[in-house]
Amino acid sequence: MLLSLFVMGSLILQAQTLTVKGRVTSKSDGSPLPGVTVKVKEVPGKGTVTDVNGEYSLSVDAKHTLEFSFVGMTPVSVKVEGKSVINVEMEEAVTKLDELVVVGYGVRKKSLLTTAISQVSGEEIAKAQPLRVEQALQGRTPGVQIIPNSGQPGDKLTVRIRGAGTTGDADPLFIVDGMPVGGIDYLNPNDIESVEIMKDAASTAIYGASGCLHQSRQHVD
């Protein structure tokens, strides 16, 4: 009898966990939204981001709630309630972009931030008139070091974030408009809307221990 009860309990526990998949699109034109942060409300640090097609996949409990956030869009919360497919439409937010900061677990107002996140605005970068984006970060963000690989003009610059993990590859993860990229040397400094440097615990849980540089480019409609 005890064995039967144990097996039954295990089956019930397994049934509560499922993989939720879905697609996130813009309500205005139906286009996919890559780089949307999808996090589990009840489990801090657990989440993912949508791919280039606006699609995501996440293992959750049947009673969990998913929270979707993206720069310039109104956040959306959806209860899983046992559903395996959850598609979401997001509307443009009224809040101005310069009042928001992108973080690893979504978007927060500057006034509410107390974690290890720094921001450099596009105006600051424009005033510095750097040849490369990395040069604009030197001396403007605490804990960020820009190291030239050689003395040759135009050579690659190495970015290091103090306080981030140094085990293995110490290069930070670069995120441009929500999508991971291999570097930022191809970007025009004049196209940058803002740069966020993240090394708080929640960002580490999603992006890794080497820190993350999130850059938003200016878009012209």
118 compared with 50, residue with greater pLDDT? 50
Question: Looking at residue 14, which CATH number applies to its domain?
Answer: 2.60.40.1120
Q: Please write the tens of the pLDDT for every residue from 10-43.
A: 334 344 789 999 999 988 888 888 888 899 999 9
Is this structure's pTM higher than 0.85? no
Residue 20 within any structural domain of the chain: yes
Domain membership of residue 134 as a residue range: 112-217
CATH at 209: 2.170.130.10
Question: What are the strands, taking DSSP E only, across the chain?
Answer: 17-26, 37-40, 47-49, 55-61, 65-69, 76-79, 88-90, 100-103, 106-109, 117-121, 144-148, 157-161, 173-176, 179-181, 192-198, 212-217
Tens of pLDDT, residues 130-164: 888 887 777 677 667 777 776 565 667 788 776 54
Q: List, for residues 44-103, the tens digit of each pLDDT value.
A: 888 898 888 999 999 999 999 999 988 778 899 999 999 999 999 998 875 444 455 544
Distance CA 141, CA 101 (A): 15
Our count of domains for the chain comes to: 2
Q: Are 66 and 78 in contact (CB under 8 A)?
A: yes
